[in-house]
Amino acid sequence: MSRTTIYRCQAPSNIALIKYWGKRQAELQWPANDSLSMTLSHCASTTNASIHDGPNHIFRYADRQNEDRTNAKAITHLEFLARKLGFEAPLKVISQNNFPSDCGIASSASGMAALTIAAVAAWTNARSLAELSTKGYDRNKLAHLARMGSGSAGRSLFGGFVKWTAGAAADAQNLQQVLPTDHWELADIIAVVSQAKKPRSSREAHADAWSSPLFAPRLAETNDRMRRTEAALTERNLEALGQLIEQEALEMHAVMMTAQNPANYLTQQTVMLLSWIREERYAGRFPAYFTLDAGPNVHIICEKKDAQIVIERLTATYPGVELIADHVGNGPNLTFAETDL
């Protein structure tokens, strides 16, 4: 029997308020514009990594339905990390999402963040984030490594509200927390209208953004929208924030739908819910706003104190729609366990 150390990272998903859509340069994951997200608390990936004797990396993951799968993107990312950081030991990695994957709840953000942290921890024998940092892998370094697996994953390294700036060159990107978790208790109530796998991966669809006639006007606007969004967050002004994030989500989907290779992630139920949220708000029933990721599921953003009324109204009106009640959270953690094999 031999003792094996398992390095376990739990990393949250995040919901972008200002979206990352389109890349200036794909290989270096250089985004077309700055983005800003809220780190979630409940929706997370838990990833266990350990050194193993076999010749190759092993990656398995189970989503909430407990289907056991592998993922080519995860293996590619492990190989990238090993090459870039100079580690040779093959890893065995087992991951689990506590929410549906590949349908617009940013499972690649939490998944790639958790994978990056757990893998580097296993290679360096680091048993906490603090220890990882003393070994030369602070959050910032890990965030830049994680974004190479999936752009949005870089933002999941930090808690609270997180900004990813594109910078003037691919190597001048920046990832940082702009406001802490306790700045504003915002909720994200996710209406899961579909768990079907996305019709197109976001990786493919990013590349098509440039072919949309709406993309250049969007890029001309995003800096200004970012400035106003940061101000609304700082001032805790939900009305201002809400209008900006709805515009932003609809604009991203308009770009997707008007690309030469159009990606239509929205279903009839999505559109129905978007209208319903606005009708309820206009009728004064609750102050809540929507945003969307690259998928059909609707993220309803409101203050945590209003989450219950939103959930009650939604459940009463659409009893078949599953809801995940989430809120702003603290970012990843890293632990370890010893096992006998």
**Cα radius of gyration (the chain):** 20
Which residues share a beta bridge with 100? none
Spatial neighbors of 29 by CB under 8 A, at least 6 apart, are 23, 147, 148, 151, 170
Count CB neighbours of 260 within 10 A: 9
Task: Give the nearer residue to ligand PMV in terms of CB position, either 122 or 175.
Answer: 175
Task: Give the nearer residue to ligand PMV in terms of CB position, either 48 or 108.
Answer: 108
Q: How far is the CB of 93 from ligand PMV (least distance, A)?
A: 19
**By CB under 6 A, residue 278 contacts ligand PMV:** no
Q: Which of residues 137-166 bind ligand PMV (CB under 6 A)?
A: 150-152
Question: Torsions phi, psi of 135, nearest 5?
Answer: -90, 10
- Do 323 and 315 touch, CB atoms closer than 8 A? yes
Tokens 């859509």 locate to 21
Half-sphere CA count of 77, side-chain side, radius 13 A: 30
Distance, CA of 324 to CA of 299 (rounded, Å): 9
**By CB under 6 A, residue 19 contacts ligand PMV:** yes
Task: Give the nearer residue to ligand PMV in terms of CB position, either 35 or 212.
Answer: 35
Task: Give the nearer residue to ligand PMV in terms of CB position, either 154 or 242.
Answer: 154
Q: How far is the CB of 143 from ligand PMV (least distance, A)?
A: 13
- Do 126 and 120 touch, CB atoms closer than 8 A? yes
Which residues share a beta bridge with 36? 18, 163
**By CB under 6 A, residue 24 contacts ligand PMV:** no
Q: How far is the CB of 166 from ligand PMV (least distance, A)?
A: 12
- CA-closest candidate to residue 136, choices 148, 114, 121: 121
**By CB under 6 A, residue 294 contacts ligand PMV:** yes
**By CB under 6 A, residue 245 contacts ligand PMV:** no
Buried b (16+ CB within 10 A) or exposed e, 5-29: ebbbbbbbbbbbbbbbbbbbeeeeb
* Stretch of 18-26, 188-196, 267-275, 277-285 contacting ligand PMV, by CB under 6 A: 18-26
**By CB under 6 A, residue 71 contacts ligand PMV:** no
Q: How far is the CB of 294 from ligand PMV (least distance, A)?
A: 4
Q: Is 244 exposed, middle or buried (0-12, 13-18, 19+ CB in 10 A)?
A: buried
Distance, CA of 7 to CA of 177 (rounded, Å): 25
**By CB under 6 A, residue 35 contacts ligand PMV:** yes
* Stretch of 14-22, 130-138, 192-200, 327-335 contacting ligand PMV, by CB under 6 A: 14-22
Distance, CA of 260 to CA of 319 (rounded, Å): 37
Pairing of strands 91-97, 58-62: parallel
Task: Give the nearer residue to ligand PMV in terms of CB position, either 81 or 106.
Answer: 106
Task: Give the nearer residue to ligand PMV in terms of CB position, either 151 or 296.
Answer: 151
Out of 24, 42, 203, 313, name the contact with ligand PMV by CB under 6 A: 203
Task: Give the nearer residue to ligand PMV in terms of CB position, either 96 or 110.
Answer: 110
Q: How far is the CB of 95 from ligand PMV (least distance, A)?
A: 16
Could you tell me where the DSSP H helices lie in the chain? 72-85, 107-124, 129-134, 139-149, 202-208, 215-235, 238-257, 268-282, 307-317
Q: How far is the CB of 229 from ligand PMV (least distance, A)?
A: 13
Q: How far is the CB of 28 from ligand PMV (least distance, A)?
A: 13
**By CB under 6 A, residue 293 contacts ligand PMV:** yes
Out of 96, 108, 110, 291, name the contact with ligand PMV by CB under 6 A: 108
Out of 181, 202, 222, 291, name the contact with ligand PMV by CB under 6 A: 202
The footprint of ligand PMV (CB under 6 A) covers: 16, 19-21, 35, 106, 108, 150-152, 202-203, 293-294
